[in-house]
Structure 1
Amino acid sequence: MHKITTTLAILIFFSMGASAQQRIVLIEQFTNSGCPPCATSTPTILNYVDANPSDVVAIAYHTSFPYNDSMYFENPVQSTTRTNFYSVSGVPYSVVDGNYYSSSSSVFAGSMASVINTRKAMPAQYNISESSNSITGNILNSQITFSSLLASNVNDSLRAFVVVIEKTVLKSAYAASPGANSETQYEYVMRRMITTDSGTSLQNRNIAGSDIFNINWTLSKIKDINEVRVVGFVQNKNTKEVYQAVMFTPTVTAGIGEDLLFTAIDVYPNPADEKVFIQIRDPEFRGNIELTDITGRIIYSTIISGGSKVEINTTEISDGMYLIHCTNGEKSTTKKLIIR
């Protein structure tokens, strides 16, 4: 089990020259990898987020109902807390900026653009910015600053949230299917609410006052380090209104002792035409290589030792996107392969 270390430092400074960000709307999406309606509505909602990154961000919480869901079991306490916070009793369900709008996702999908456009036109009450945000080895280090834009914020009970999500999680990244619906990948999956599932109180809510959060977290349950994102948002504890939300992408840097599964696998040529080579550069490595399609069907599997190279004939494999899974003991990583 990974150890989680969180350090919070709260500082005060005043800057009357602070400029307001455009409001970015937060969609909190409640979903389940086993429910058929979720496979229809949740991708519609999150594809809109993908297409409008300057207007909206998302966090997807996987629920314990109506079916088993591996992503729920990877963080059941925080997922349940957030589900209960909004009294969500059925999925798929969408919550927009806390108290601004909420409904079943099938209903929300029809009015989503209008709801988001109306909400984003309202001035943000907070700025959220990053001073640093990086992953070295398997450690996430971030410094996130929450700055008040309104004098009236001092009268509100406000909580800061810093949430680690995985932007895209492939169904095939799991040894057993994480859910029985037709989805082959899951977007904006909540992995850890660093500032706890109830958030952390903002102390310096006077205009231009700032709270700075220094985050140090050991990655846990992450399937692809390159898909890690950090979402910060401010929420009124009493009214549930979200005042601002921003998503940041950490830079990934190599560090001493970094898991070689992330750095020492070469796949070439990619895209591949007639053949593809998989090479492990670490001479001490020994593990399993699998080539699967996006549904998880295994096309090729072998054991490979470090320093060796595998050649796969791709002439009999249909064109499309495939996944190469490399596993060494309890650790695994996945790389994409295009065959054409």
Structure 2
Amino acid sequence: MKKILTLTFIVLFAIQAFCQTEKVVVIEHFTNSKCSICASRNPAFYSLLEDYPQVLHIAYHPSSPYPTCIFSQYNPEENDARTNFYGIYGGTPRVVVSGEVIPPGSQLLTADQLDSKLGMLSDYDISIKHQLGEGDNIDVIVTIKRVSGNSTEDLMFIGDLAEENVDYAAPNGENYHPDVFRKFLFQEPVSLPNAGDSIVLSATYTSDPVWVQDEMHVMGMLQRTNDKVILQSAKSGKAEAVSVISKRKVHETDRLFYPNPANNYIAIEESYRQNAVGATLYNLFGQKVKDLNIQQKTSISELDRGYYFVVVTEKGGEQTTSKLLKR
């Protein structure tokens, strides 16, 4: 009988483990673009992360010790709120790994500290859809499912909107600014007591000229409120440009116009001018921005930085499109 009970326990444990999903590790990074210590310690930290592509990263910029940091100034209240949540407001840089505050030191994070968080399983699964909606809206749909276990944990889902890479020469000498936090989309209490329970959360936001929309993604974290442990995390892709552009019969080319990236003007490539009957500039939502001069340069200096589509229509109706990066 004892052998049968032991075997039953092993089978049940194996079934539960099979139902669990891999726990995705997330690093919350607290830094500042005017912080000289950040400039000295962040490069080694970023180099470490390159060896762990499966680990997620989000960078907050609290207003202390330097309130004039441009990333902090964009949204000081929410940057500070997340910093205060962990009780580390007042100094940068700091890191929190899946809810565990790492003590400050000459090295922000070591491989051993990160390795200790890998290979764990989770009772939860998160999926995030990030897609263009109607008009200027971008829709975010999050599905959280409990795949195993039963408990009445108090949970909170945190959904961050972040810019994947910001090109900015900071006062502290840093030029590399990955996964910059912009705003919270979700701060929602969640109840999933039983295996099989699921919940769907949705939010809508509009793009901001300060961002490069093509660099935006959503980071999601399911966090236990009593000890702040992050039980699961996930990252969305970038919002797909499901727009008028994508519905046309077009093909991609790298040399439809020049220069690219561009600051002040663009000009249609000579090889396309002879057969072109029109050229138009669209934003990522498929909305017309302006007509382009086929034969001469067209000024784009007034446009916000970010990505656009150039569409050239030729005789017979064939259209060719290519993406423009406006600096």
TM-score under structure 2 normalisation? 0.70
Q: Deviations over 1:100-136 (max 9, x none)?
A: x412364333x1x222222122212311113x32135
Matched, 1:44 2:44: yes
Where structure 2 has 5 or more consecutive residues not aligned to the other structure, the ranges are 1-15, 246-254, 269-278, 284-289, 308-323
1:191 and 1:221 in contact (8 A); partners too: no
Matched, 1:249 2:237: yes
2:167 and 2:175 in contact (8 A); partners too: yes
SS at match of 2:305: strand
Tell me how far apart the structure 2 counterparts of residues 59 and 268 of structure 1 sit (CA, whole Å): 34
Which of 163, 166, 174 aligns to 1:166? It is: 163
Tell me how far apart the structure 1 counterparts of residues 45 and 29 of structure 2 sit (CA, whole Å): 8
Q: Which moved more, 1:36-45 or 1:154-163?
A: 36-45
SS at match of 1:216: strand
1:45 Cα offset (Å): 2.5
1:135 and 1:141 in contact (8 A); partners too: yes
Tell me how far apart the structure 2 counterparts of residues 211 and 18 of structure 1 sit (CA, whole Å): 22
Tell me how far apart the structure 1 counterparts of residues 193 and 43 of structure 2 sit (CA, whole Å): 36
Which of 328, 332, 338 aligns to 2:302? It is: 328
Matched, 1:205 2:193: yes
> Aligned Cα RMSD in Å?
3.6
Tell me how far apart the structure 1 counterparts of residues 281 and 160 of structure 2 sit (CA, whole Å): 37
1:39 Cα offset (Å): 1.6
Using a 3 Å threshold, how does the CA distance of structure 1 residues 171 and 283 change in structure 2: closer, same or farther? Answer: closer
Matched, 1:133 2:134: no
Tell me how far apart the structure 1 counterparts of residues 280 and 122 of structure 2 sit (CA, whole Å): 49
Aligned runs of 1:143-222 on 2, under 5 Å?
Answer: 143-152=141-150, 154-171=151-168, 179-195=170-186, 199-220=187-208, 222=210
* Regions of 4+ moved over 6 Å: 334-337
Quote the sequence identity (%).
24
* Residues matched between the structures, number: 265
1:253 Cα offset (Å): 0.9
1:148 Cα offset (Å): 1.6
1:224 Cα offset (Å): 1.3
Q: Which has the higher contact order (CA 8 A, sep 6+)?
A: 1
TM-score under structure 1 normalisation? 0.67
Using a 3 Å threshold, how does the CA distance of structure 1 residues 266 and 231 change in structure 2: closer, same or farther? Answer: farther
Aligned runs of 1:285-296 on 2, under 5 Å?
Answer: none
SS at match of 2:214: helix
Tell me how far apart the structure 2 counterparts of residues 21 and 163 of structure 1 sit (CA, whole Å): 22
Matched, 1:74 2:56: no
Q: Which residue of 2 aligns with 1:227?
A: 215
Q: Which residue of 2 aligns with 1:307?
A: 293
2:214 and 2:306 in contact (8 A); partners too: no
SS at match of 1:229: strand
SS at match of 1:255: coil
